[in-house]
Structure 1
């Protein structure tokens, strides 16, 4: 029990030192220093992981940068009371709408960049396979002509035997060489491949640029924007008494009890209408206003989720279309082109048939529609998209029920760090409730007076029924 009590006292002292400007005394200074070291270590560890695995920096350089930032942040937190408040609000602001917008933007960039990159690679692979098949078909274009040439040579040899009359020898030579001009075809293929490479290069460069900006600039920019909003929140809290000043905190309750003990006007307990306008801080029971805030928080998540599903579905459908095309092309068997040549020769002498010869030869050939080495190989990298998206969605689901409470948490933190501003805000809210009650009471009295006058006869007929109270 003594140890537990000592830990509780140490926690109370650490919170008090961390949230106040008073660090007088060796004990308070030491506690504050160690309290500032803890968040600095967490920040340095996260920065180290970011440099190592996201920016792929060298281990020694990453360690040095993380250690330097940790030391600088420790002394900055030790010296600056405002920075300690901003850091605390930064942790709380991870569950606000601004962080929701940042996470949704990050998720959209992951989906768009991942799926567009994958779809672009599949389209490029499909076009390259077509160009590859056309190049492979250059040699096969000449093959049918060679078959016809062989057929003509065979026919020429047969005819040469017929023209040999033994008396006069007709020596004939048939020279045939197929020639197909493929130069223009080759140039068109080279131009198509060049345009494809240029288009892919531009697209990949753009995607890499956006991806690099997302990985290098986006986290820093998001953190900077979030810190600006936090600084504006602190400024409004300290300078504007009306800024989100509609919560009843424990300090307000203590101030009202003090007013009651001194015999001055007090406002607690609140009426049922006032309880709806001025909820307690913190209030764990969800209210109708918080329910509406939860719905507003969830609508952008649902709309972005639908867009993400559409992007992923289009990428998956294109992948399966390419897979089906590849499967069907690979299953196609080479088609046969039958080319049979038969020659029948009949020798006659004065109309009398002497002999008959039949000559037949097969010049058939086969052709493939698509070369197997040129078949496209599509990719579907769902893990690169689904894993970060699942993490983002789980984070958003955790943030959704807590988002409505984060306004209260930020106000509690500011009340803890800025006690003087909190006292001024409490006095303003206390006077505001009293003014509203007084105004409501006066309106009610005026309404009752008007009702009573309307029911009196002297109000309608003052000559016939004079007011006895006004008769002298």
Structure 2
């Protein structure tokens, strides 16, 4: 059982190694390598086509049949391109790796910012709109409820008038009087101001919603496509610089460099390994799990925009949450307020006298009290909070960005190793150039050290000569004086 497991493991490793070699080279010596190349290209194109399918379905809202047809054609063309061109395979591999690079970081940061704009900032504008509309609604309701207290006062005056009419009826002489009360409230200007305020509010909200809808549409539809094209252009430029410019990021000691240096050493030619401590800082080995100072600075440089964007997101989310809490708190307190009761009791006392002697007394009372509400319940704002709709996606984006920041320093090394694997001839030329560069640097430093040593010896000799000359001069001067 153990023997069969070891055999299976070895055969699997050989198959993976052969598939990797067939994918990174154009050598098709037998049918097995050709079959593995077809399978590898098909799997890679399937992964990339699935990203296109998700983009068409969930971003552009295409139907499944249309998105599936476009994705199928794209996958077929991509598989064909992978089979025909090694450069296209390198481009696709670097595209997958570049998920962890700067352009992908900017893409995720833009996605997070768009999410905050579409969710939290839009929700903040909606809550403010609800608050202003509730104030306008309350003003309209107050305008209608202003006439209620006046009607009570009118009824009170009519009641007093009826009582006074009974008093003025003397039997012999009857005084006729009519009490007419007509309330009038000048509210045309008030209504005009309210309608203008509501119209401006509706126009502002409409313009803001149209702007956000436009930004949302452009961001969701065009930005991923533009980012994809820009990323592919950056990768193509990287491949071009790697193949044509020997100085481009050529400071890493790879396995191929070690083999070349051992070959130089075996042939009796100058070799550079092992490196000095200063050279190890300038020319690090790859792949290496140990982080260097330069890699730490790269991680900090990569993470600085992430921190600034995260702080901005937190500020906007906090403002949205605080506004929601404020409106919700005010709404609850206003709904708990009871109407203000305005007591208005009228008491009328009549005393009948005959020749100055009271013989009858009558007291009449009537209640004209009314209540006034501070804020109409039907006008209370109902705020909305979309905190969970933005926090979970933003948490996933920040977690991905954190992983990318930790891997940012190593991804550049991995990208160079991939290019070196696909373009072996260019990799050999770059290794020879770096080897010669290190040798030239050592020769220059050795020459400078020799010059410094000669200068030091010359200074020592000059000092000794001056010391001897001074000693002889003092000796002769002392003897002459004696």
Normalising by the residue count of structure 1, what TM-score does the alignment of the two structures yield?
0.93
Output the CA distance in 1 between the equivalents of 2:355 and 2:249.
126
The equivalent of 1:115 in structure 2 is 120
Determine whether 1:288 maps to 2:281.
no
User: Shift of residue 456 of structure 1?
Assistant: 2.5
Deviation readout 1:124-173 (Å, 9 max, x if unpaired)? 11111111222222321111111111111111111221222222344433
Output the CA distance in 1 between the equivalents of 2:127 and 2:234.
42
The one of 51, 69, 74 equivalent to 2:74 is 69
The one of 306, 324, 329 equivalent to 1:301 is 306
Output the CA distance in 1 between the equivalents of 2:418 and 2:454.
47
Question: Which sits farther off after the overlay, 309-318 or 294-303?
Answer: 294-303
The one of 338, 342, 363 equivalent to 2:343 is 338
**What secondary structure is seen at the aligned counterpart in 2 of 1:346?**
strand
**What secondary structure is seen at the aligned counterpart in 1 of 2:268?**
coil
**What secondary structure is seen at the aligned counterpart in 2 of 1:456?**
helix
The equivalent of 2:476 in structure 1 is none
- The aligned runs of 1:428-447 (5 Å cut-off) are 428-447=433-452
- Residues 458 and 346 of structure 1: CA distance in aligned 2, closer, same or farther (over 3 Å): closer
Output the CA distance in 2 between the equivalents of 1:301 and 1:136.
49
**What secondary structure is seen at the aligned counterpart in 1 of 2:17?**
helix
User: Shift of residue 349 of structure 1?
Assistant: 3.6
The equivalent of 1:15 in structure 2 is 20
Determine whether 1:323 maps to 2:328.
yes
The one of 243, 248, 266 equivalent to 1:238 is 243
Aligned residues of 1:342 and 1:361 also touching (Cα < 8 A): yes
**What secondary structure is seen at the aligned counterpart in 1 of 2:362?**
strand
**What secondary structure is seen at the aligned counterpart in 1 of 2:146?**
helix
- Residues 268 and 135 of structure 1: CA distance in aligned 2, closer, same or farther (over 3 Å): same
Give me the CA root mean square deviation: 2.1
Determine whether 1:60 maps to 2:40.
no
User: Shift of residue 90 of structure 1?
Assistant: 1.3
Determine whether 1:365 maps to 2:357.
no
The equivalent of 1:468 in structure 2 is none
User: Shift of residue 39 of structure 1?
Assistant: 1.6
Output the CA distance in 2 between the equivalents of 1:274 and 1:33.
43
Determine whether 1:404 maps to 2:404.
no
The equivalent of 1:193 in structure 2 is 198
Output the CA distance in 1 between the equivalents of 2:462 and 2:68.
92
- Residues 385 and 457 of structure 1: CA distance in aligned 2, closer, same or farther (over 3 Å): closer
- The aligned runs of 1:117-136 (5 Å cut-off) are 117-136=122-141
The equivalent of 1:470 in structure 2 is none
Determine whether 1:204 maps to 2:176.
no
Output the CA distance in 1 between the equivalents of 2:107 and 2:465.
68
Q: Which segments of 5 or more consecutive residues in structure 2 lack a partner in the other structure? A: 1-5, 471-482
The equivalent of 2:474 in structure 1 is none
Question: Which sits farther off after the overlay, 425-434 or 186-195?
Answer: 186-195
Determine whether 1:150 maps to 2:155.
yes
Deviation readout 1:287-306 (Å, 9 max, x if unpaired)? 22222222222333222222
- Residues 180 and 424 of structure 1: CA distance in aligned 2, closer, same or farther (over 3 Å): same
User: Shift of residue 458 of structure 1?
Assistant: 10
- The aligned runs of 1:209-288 (5 Å cut-off) are 209-288=214-293
Output the CA distance in 1 between the equivalents of 2:59 and 2:104.
20
Determine whether 1:376 maps to 2:381.
yes
Output the CA distance in 2 between the equivalents of 1:272 and 1:175.
109
Question: Which sits farther off after the overlay, 18-27 or 215-224?
Answer: 18-27
Normalising by the residue count of structure 2, what TM-score does the alignment of the two structures yield?
0.91
Deviation readout 1:362-421 (Å, 9 max, x if unpaired)? 111111111111111111111121011101111112112211111110110010111111
The one of 40, 45, 60 equivalent to 2:50 is 45
Output the CA distance in 1 between the equivalents of 2:441 and 2:383.
70
Output the CA distance in 2 between the equivalents of 1:380 and 1:78.
52
Q: Which segments of 5 or more consecutive residues in structure 1 lack a partner in the other structure? A: 466-472
Output the CA distance in 1 between the equivalents of 2:165 and 2:216.
74
User: Shift of residue 459 of structure 1?
Assistant: 9.2
